[in-house]
Amino acid sequence: MTLSMSQASIPVFVQLLTAASAVLDKAAAHAEAKKVDPTVLLNMRLYPDMFPLVRQIQIATDQAKGCIARLAGMEVPKYPDSEATFDEIKARIAKTIDFVQSVKASQIDGTEDKDLTIPLGQQQRAFKGQAYLINFVLPNFYFHLATAYNILRHAGVEIGKRDFLGNF
């Protein structure tokens, strides 16, 4: 059996973004229970030269929506990157999940050899669709979500591997 581009992307993005939203609920409850200003958690980072929690989630959602849009030949939805609360970052996740689920499998399947040019900072990078999804987007997506998870775990939020994975 062949694994399609839609099967390798949409369910992964939905599962892990849904799990990230639930982790953020636990983080908000932790902040409330411990009398910690939620912005402290949202702006935490593992090391000074790393992005804070809120930016890690923004990048993960950017990876998901950008991938799906590019593979489907659609314009990538633009979000303002202005989230400053748990509710705002959860709304961004929900909006991303809604977008990802709105794209039909038929719009993505068969894009393995599609030529894509992706902006990376000030440069452009050429990919084929499958290499873009498997070798670039998915590792970046996992990296930023794992980093967000690790920031919260380091802050004492009681979460585990099952929380990161969500329902599968």
What are the tens digits of pLDDT across the range 26-57? 999 999 999 999 999 999 999 999 999 999 99
**Count of CB atoms situated within 10 Å of the CB of 36:** 15
Identify the architecture of domain 10-165 in CATH.
Up-down Bundle (1.20)
Query: Could you tell me what percent of the chain has a pLDDT over 70?
Result: 99
Q: Which two tokens stand for residue 117?
A: 């040019």
pTM over 0.85: yes
Taking the domains of the chain in order of start, what are their residue ranges? 10-165
Distance, in Å, from the CA atom of 27 to the CA atom of 31, rounded to the nearest integer, reads: 6
168: pLDDT strictly greater than 90 = no
Task: Give 168's contacts (C-beta < 8 A, 6+ positions apart).
Answer: 15
What is the rounded average pLDDT of the residues 153-167? 96
**Count of CB atoms situated within 10 Å of the CB of 22:** 17
What pLDDT score was predicted for residue 1?
A: 63
DSSP state at residue 82: -
Classified as helix, coil or strand, 114 is coil
